[in-house]
Structure 1
Amino acid sequence: MTSEKKSPDFDRILLDPGAHYDSPSDVVTDERFAPSDRIEILRRWEYDAADASVAAEEGMPGGNDQLLADIILGLKKLGAEIDTEQTGPTKQGGIGRSAIKSDK
């Protein structure tokens, strides 16, 4: 699948990756999508997981540090590099898109 024309499946998955995959490693091995699309799915999942971790920090249910670690590992397996020098402007400390660098 090319990045130019994405399937409706991609759009649904992007809205809630955790509802469509059991683990980040399932995203890594999902060959329906190009590696760049899988990276985008993991980035979205990372944001959602970071948001849940902040909620847990504030006493609300949620949060899963292992999930975040697995997402980062998946991003690395797909060739995305995390620049730890940059953080997003959100309370979650989300990683901005400019912080994800591809080795390609």
Structure 2
Amino acid sequence: MTRDIADRDIEAALADPSAFFAQPQDIVTHPRLSREVKLKLLRQWEQDARELSVAEGEGMGGGEESMLGRVHLALRKVEGAAGA
């Protein structure tokens, strides 16, 4: 479930995007976030997903669908929106 994000929550969301958004796509489609904030959130989520991917590679993960792939898809959508 995606939480409605107020301006004061952006800093907290930047620290842990998955606490505020269920999926990276929820950031892409959020109507109140600027492109800049969307990119920051997705890049943080990407970093978190990379760290999880490394942990899974070392046998510490849980086998869910790759979050890193979902984050990359969302990043491409937001980055491509600048040219639209």
Give the TM-score taking structure 1 as reference length.
0.65
Alignment RMSD (CA, Å): 2.3
- Of Structure 1 and Structure 2, the greater helix share is in 2
Percent identical residues: 36
Structure 2 stretches lacking a partner, 5+ long? 1-5
Q: Which runs of structure 1 show a deviation greater than 2 angstroms over 4 or more consecutive aligned residues?
A: 61-66
How many residues are aligned here? 78
Alignment of 1:1-104 (within 5 A): 7-62=7-62, 66-79=66-79
Structure 1 residues 65, 34: closer, same or farther in 2, change over 3 A?
Answer: same
AA in 1 matched with 2:9: D
Give the TM-score taking structure 2 as reference length.
0.78
Determine the C-alpha separation between the residues in 2 that align with 1:65 and 1:53.
Answer: 11
More RCO (CA 8 Å, sep 6+): 2
Q: Matched residue of 1:32: which SS? A: coil
Structure 1 stretches lacking a partner, 5+ long? 1-5, 81-101
- Of Structure 1 and Structure 2, the greater strand share is in 1
Q: Matched residue of 1:77: which SS? A: helix
Greater C-alpha Rg: 1
| Equivalent pair of 1:39/1:78 in contact (CA under 8 Å) | yes
Structure 1 residues 64, 44: closer, same or farther in 2, change over 3 A?
Answer: farther
Q: Matched residue of 1:51: which SS? A: helix
